[in-house]
């Protein structure tokens, strides 16, 4: 059975940043909880990663996506070695490496983390142990080492030293390997404050991490430094870099294109403007959420549940309210 790459509600993700196993447990618990009670169900079962299969898809030339559970992985292969974008959950590393071995027998040399969430960085330590050098924004590394408290108020579990990126950057970085130019481009304060857009120039592909997703509503993880304006800026940068044939690979959901990102950005703008109107009218957060402002977009956005839409509207409300 192939488990859904969008199976983990992002409400769960930002509760336990950087602690892959804890994150996975939270993820599974949330997935099993009834609507409205994510994370509150008793008797959490350990996650069964044994059932996850890695689906490899050729995107272009020597670029592939590896879909398992958690964020989408990108794999650039060739004679200079393998570069991965993101690492999913730690228990999946063996399967991910086995999938890479199907498309390359060269070592995994580089990893770029798109953002801090455990379903994108959980395999860092394993891959570093296998010899990969991990790259990320400065902010991402700091948050892995200094995670937020859990929703219950317990201290967050810092990522082990071996999981922390060895190379960090604050401006764009370019990798030159396998005949490709791979650009790691900081996107400030978007989904989190440590987001990176990864551009494969020759393959004409962009990997966005979670500031763009092709299924479900955005998650503005304000607890990890994310912001509505940063999301809009990141989406705008992505639209500006994309041509009509550019493959846009989101953190979750199928590969999209520029028109898909444009739809997503326009939806975000429209919801923002409606929320702003209702705040102007003095509505409370509960009233704004109850207005179901996203309903017209549900058919295309395909949220897993109403919570997914409500969380997004609540995040927009919180940011606009705080800015007043």
The whole-angstrom distance between residue 91's C-alpha and the CA centroid of its chain comes to: 18
In the set 193, 210, 310, 319, which binds Zn ion (CB under 5 A)? Answer: 210
The minimum distance between CB 226 and Zn ion, in angstroms, equals 9
For residues 309 and 317, give the distance between their C-alpha atoms in angstroms, rounded to a whole number: 12
Given its phi and psi angles, is residue 131 left (phi above 0), alpha (psi -120 to 50 degrees) or beta? Answer: left
Contact range with Zn ion by CB under 5 A, out of 139-147, 207-215, 234-242, 284-292 = 207-215
- The answer to whether the Cα torsion of 254, 256, 262, 265 is positive or negative is positive
Instruction: Pinpoint the alpha helices (H) of the chain.
Output: 10-13, 20-32, 93-101, 118-121, 124-129, 138-145, 228-241, 258-280, 285-290, 298-301, 306-323
Which 45-104 positions form the footprint of Zn ion (CB under 5 A)?
none
**Nearest residue (CB) to Zn ion, 104 versus 114:** 114
The minimum distance between CB 191 and Zn ion, in angstroms, equals 6
Beta-ladder partners of 65 = 57, 74
234-265 as b/e: b if 16+ CB within 10 A: bbebbbebbeeebbbbbbbbebbbbebbbebb
The minimum distance between CB 250 and Zn ion, in angstroms, equals 11
Contact range with Zn ion by CB under 5 A, out of 20-28, 102-110, 202-210, 294-302 = 202-210
The minimum distance between CB 58 and Zn ion, in angstroms, equals 25
Which 219-258 positions form the footprint of Zn ion (CB under 5 A)?
none
**Nearest residue (CB) to Zn ion, 47 versus 70:** 70
**Nearest residue (CB) to Zn ion, 20 versus 77:** 20
**Nearest residue (CB) to Zn ion, 64 versus 211:** 211
Q: DSSP secondary-structure letter at 256? A: B
Cα dist from 282 to 250, 273, 294, whole Å: 36, 14, 20
Question: How many residues form the binding site for Zn ion (CB under 5 A)?
Answer: 2
The minimum distance between CB 252 and Zn ion, in angstroms, equals 8
**Nearest residue (CB) to Zn ion, 249 versus 279:** 249
For residues 106 and 79, give the distance between their C-alpha atoms in angstroms, rounded to a whole number: 7
**Nearest residue (CB) to Zn ion, 77 versus 163:** 163
The minimum distance between CB 87 and Zn ion, in angstroms, equals 13
Which 115-144 positions form the footprint of Zn ion (CB under 5 A)?
117
Q: Which residues of the chain form contacts with Zn ion (CB under 5 A)? A: 117, 210
């Amino acid at each position: 059975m192939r488990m859904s790459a969008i199976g983990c509600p992002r409400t769960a993700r930002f509760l336990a940043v950087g602690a892959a196993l804890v994150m996975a447990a939270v993820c599974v618990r949330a997935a099993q909880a009834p609507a409205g009670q994510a994370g509150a169900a008793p008797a959490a079962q350990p996650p069964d990663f044994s059932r996850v299969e890695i689906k490899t898809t050729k995107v272009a030339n020597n670029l592939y996506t590896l879909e398992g559970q958690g964020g989408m992985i990108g794999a650039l292969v060739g004679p200079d070695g393998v570069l991965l974008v993101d690492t999913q959950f730690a228990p999946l590393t063996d399967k991910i490496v086995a999938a890479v071995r199907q498309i390359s027998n060269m070592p995994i040399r580089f990893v770029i983390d798109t953002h801090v969430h455990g379903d994108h960085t959980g395999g860092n330590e394993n891959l570093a142990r296998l010899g990969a050098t991990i790259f990320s924004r400065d902010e991402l590394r700091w948050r892995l080492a200094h995670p937020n408290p859990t929703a219950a108020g317990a201290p967050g579990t810092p990522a082990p030293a071996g999981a922390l990126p060895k190379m960090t950057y604050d401006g764009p970085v370019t990798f030159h390997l396998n005949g490709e130019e791979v650009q790691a481009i900081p996107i400030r304060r978007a989904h989190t404050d440590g987001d990176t857009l990864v551009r494969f120039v020759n393959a004409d592909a962009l990997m966005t991490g979670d500031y763009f997703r092709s299924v479900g509503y955005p998650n503005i993880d304000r607890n990890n430094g994310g912001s509505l304006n940063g999301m809009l800026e990141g989406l705008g940068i992505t639209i500006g870099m994309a041509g009509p044939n550019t493959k846009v690979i989101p953190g979750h959901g199928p590969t999209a294109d520029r028109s898909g990102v444009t739809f997503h950005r326009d939806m975000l703008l429209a919801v923002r403007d409606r929320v702003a109107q209702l705040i102007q009218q003095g509505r409370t957060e509960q009233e704004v959420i109850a207005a179901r402002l996203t309903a017209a977009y549900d058919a295309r956005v395909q949220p897993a549940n109403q919570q997914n839409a409500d969380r997004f509207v609540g995040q927009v409300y919180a940011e606009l309210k705080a800015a007043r």
